Structure 1
Amino acid sequence: MTDETTIVPLLEPREGIPPVIEDPTGLARVVRAFAEGTGPVAVDAERASGYRYSGRAYLVQLRRAGAGSALIDPIRCPDLSELDAALADAEVVLHAASQDLPCLAELGFRPRALFDTELAGRLLGYERVGLGMMVENVLGLRLEKGHSAADWSTRPLPEDWLRYAALDVEVLIELRDVLHEELKASGKLAWAEEEFAAVLAHRSPGPRTDPWRRTSGIHKVRALRGLAVVRELWTLRDSLAREADLAPGRVLPDSAIVAAALELPRTTKALTDIPAFTGRSARKHLRDWLAAITRARALPEPELPQPSAPGDGPPPANRWMDRDPVAARRLAAARAAVAALADEHRMPTENLLQPEAVRRLTWEPPAVVNAETVAARLRGLGAREWQIGLTARPVAEALARLEVTGGD
């Protein structure tokens, strides 16, 4: 931990704020410069989460030794495949890579080798792994993080936002180098490399079935007619948000959808009596909202949505004791074993072994419980080899003790 009195504010990029690349000629210069650079490439992307419908990138930042820093406007330069090809052999350094990899892939930029500084921090036991705190605790430098939640679709981008963006990659390689040495010294480098490879190999699941069921607060809606209102309003909102490229919550908040599903308003006056429908965006489509509610009210009984069916996984853990007390005791024993190991290796339990893997293992354990069968089950549930090597035997022993004692 860095002493507070020695922390140095990082206020300006070393070479100043680089110009934003907005045309093919400028992009070609960046490609040449980064191809001629050496060592890892620091990369970051800024999105407009909470403002825009899509998760696309609105600014891409890069830095490499010998090339300096670059800021690319992916709206004007939407194809980074040539940059991707030029950096095919380079290790790419990202912080919280899983957040940025999808939007970078949309631009044709797909790293082959990765170092994730957030994930490295987790494996090393750092309590706070946001980029700002990692830079502060590891390098003794303070980043200004005031624009992390800004609307990066804004054009032109203000100078102070560009300064912030450039600083996000300014010392990312230095952070990577220190963390790499710490991973090596602690014997965790191979674990980290396996985790980085898993991040790169991960593929996003396909579209959700009935995505409207993810509406926040839907658990309050018990009536089938109310669920039909949620479905109709959610579907209409999604269409309007997609068309306008706005975050759905800016078109109509979830709270408005749930309130309408509970109150089932019949008139515009009744609809506007619901506070969440009084916002400017919501009022713009009052007639459409009311028409959607009316459609839901008119649906024949067989066409009403039914309560969601149970998934293929175990129930929520807080219901296990009622549903299957023996499984609940298995879960507690496995969790205790994993927690003890996590403490021993100074990392969060969820990084030592995925909680979903623990739940599925203990809800439906192997017929014969031993280190080999538990390892095979964990492997089938997506656990990495380093995780299996650490946890399979202690978890198997914890479960076996329960079988011997009868769960007492």
Structure 2
Amino acid sequence: MPKITPIEIDRYTYNIGSTIDGRSTKAYWIDTDEALERLVSVISQDDSIAIDTEFHREKTYYPRLALVQLARSNGEVVLIDPFRVRLRALSTLFEGDIEFIFHAFDQDLAILERSVGTIPRRLYDTQISAGFLGTARAGLGTLLERFLGIKLQKAARFSDWTARPLTKSQVDYACEDVVFLHSLKDAIDASLRRLGRVPWVEEELARTLDRMGKSVEPDAAWLKIKECKGLDEQSKRVARSLAAWRETTARENDIPCRYILSDLAIATISHAKPRSMEVLLNLRGVDAGKLSQKTQNEIMEAIKEGLASSKPTESPYYEGNNYPRHLTPLLQLCQAWVAAVAQREQIDSTIVSSKDDLQDLISKNEESRLKSGWRYELVGRDLVNIVTGRYGVAVDAGDALEIVPLDHRR
């Protein structure tokens, strides 16, 4: 491990509370491009850096980044003001060999990619990794208390991160979100190594990144609206057209989708399929007073496009109420087996398999996650045998579930 060079940037510093070793820690405030460039030069040889962001997205389509926090393995913390600096300077670090440690990186990565232009080439997520030790999507505070015996103060969680200057409680909160991540990673990895699950985590991180790299296409936006799942095919085509229009409009204007048209309104319009403006404006969920004439016309045009479309809706194989009733017992049996294995192995069952994963497996989808990698070794092979009738599920002498061969089906 290379020697950690102290930052020693003569700008603003904050003294924050006790860290892991009980000593006071300095947090450096970076609000000039010159200071950021110097920082990048100093920390570019680090092996690992903990990272987090603070942002707001209540009134915009894209999250508005308000703060970037970095912590080094020597305990130094850096707070970067994205309103004052060009964050693309961080791309040098992201594209290098430094491992960036996150907690729950899904939203952070999307924000950083938009602000920096790229995401870290090497990264680690404490939330995902801890899931392989039995914690279900645990928050940072839960993990710190479990693995390190540290309790966080979350007083500034819902404060305004766009305000300047930050308050002392905000600085403490921002620093606490990163300063313990190196030690937390070490503790989690020690347990993962004992169980031989480090390769599982690496595989899952790679899968998660691959999935996150695929942005939602406007034509698929309707699938996120639960009220549309029970619609007939023609209504689904209208919903697809309306949701695609709303998604595109929201992106272009950087405003939340709900500001344009609510999910309820899209479902109601799709079901009613109005042919006139008068009918449209009297439907449930449609607030005529908030819709400009231009928006009203665009909605009617989207309805017409949906009605005229001959392209089938590409919904999941088994979706909502369309899941065949006669397969429900098999699905429940598979869910029970996944839960039993997860409990036995002390791993988060939601990481092992989702309901969609099981439906893919039952539908004989060869791309099912349960048919490859660690999932196949842990539960996938057994589930295939259950689905194909080679094995059944029974209760053993200790009241635990076990799978047993069904000789008559061989």
Q: Same fold (TM over 0.5)?
A: yes
Q: Which has the higher helix share?
A: 1
Q: Report matched runs for 1:91-240 at 5 Å.
A: 91-106=99-114, 107-127=116-136, 129-145=138-154, 148=157, 152=161, 154-156=162-164, 158-159=166-167, 160-202=169-211, 204-208=213-217, 210-214=219-223, 215=225, 217-219=227-229, 228=238, 231-232=241-242, 234=243, 237-238=246-247, 240=249
Does 1:390 find its partner at 2:390? no
Percent identity over the alignment? 24
Q: Distance in 2 between matches of 1:228 and 1:397?
A: 41
- For the residue of structure 2 that corresponds to 1:164, the secondary structure is helix
Match of 1:42 in 2: 50
Task: Identify the structure with bigger relative contact order (alpha carbons < 8 Å, sequence gap 6+).
Answer: 1
RMSD: 4.0
When residues 391 and 317 of structure 1 are mapped into structure 2, their CA distance, relative to the original with a 3 A threshold, is farther
Report if the CA contact (8 A) 2:318-2:359 is conserved.
no
What runs of 5+ residues in structure 2 fail to find an aligned partner? 1-15, 393-404
- For the residue of structure 1 that corresponds to 2:390, the secondary structure is helix
Report if the CA contact (8 A) 1:267-1:290 is conserved.
no
Q: Distance in 1 between matches of 2:285 and 2:98?
A: 53
Q: Distance in 2 between matches of 1:105 and 1:162?
A: 24
Q: Distance in 2 between matches of 1:60 and 1:274?
A: 42
Once the two structures are superposed, residues 215-267 of structure 1 have per-residue CA deviations (whole angstroms, 9 ceiling, x without a partner) of: 453357669589648845x5664455334422222344333444556675745
Match of 1:340 in 2: 340
Q: Distance in 2 between matches of 1:93 and 1:226?
A: 41
Once the two structures are superposed, residues 127-166 of structure 1 have per-residue CA deviations (whole angstroms, 9 ceiling, x without a partner) of: 56111222233222222345556665x3536424444222
Q: Report matched runs for 1:311-330 at 5 Å.
A: 311=315, 313-316=316-319, 319-322=322-325, 325=326, 327-328=327-328, 330=330
**Structure 1 position 12, deviation (Å):** 7.0
Report if the CA contact (8 A) 1:331-1:363 is conserved.
no
Match of 1:368 in 2: none
Q: Distance in 2 between matches of 1:277 and 1:230?
A: 20
Q: Which has the higher strand share?
A: 2
Q: Distance in 2 between matches of 1:286 and 1:352?
A: 47
Once the two structures are superposed, residues 270-308 of structure 1 have per-residue CA deviations (whole angstroms, 9 ceiling, x without a partner) of: 948967628xxx73x4323333345467x49x9535695
When residues 196 and 321 of structure 1 are mapped into structure 2, their CA distance, relative to the original with a 3 A threshold, is closer
Match of 1:370 in 2: none
Q: Distance in 1 between matches of 2:119 and 2:332?
A: 40
Does 1:65 find its partner at 2:73? yes
**Structure 1 position 67, deviation (Å):** 6.7
Match of 1:351 in 2: 351
What runs of 5+ residues in structure 1 fail to find an aligned partner? 1-9, 366-376
Letter matched to residue 188 of structure 1: R
Does 1:82 find its partner at 2:92? yes
When residues 219 and 115 of structure 1 are mapped into structure 2, their CA distance, relative to the original with a 3 A threshold, is closer
Report if the CA contact (8 A) 1:44-1:60 is conserved.
yes
Q: Distance in 1 between matches of 2:188 and 2:363?
A: 37
Report if the CA contact (8 A) 2:229-2:319 is conserved.
no
Q: Report matched runs for 1:298-313 at 5 Å.
A: 299=304, 303-305=307-309, 309=313, 311=315, 313=316
Match of 2:28 in 1: 18
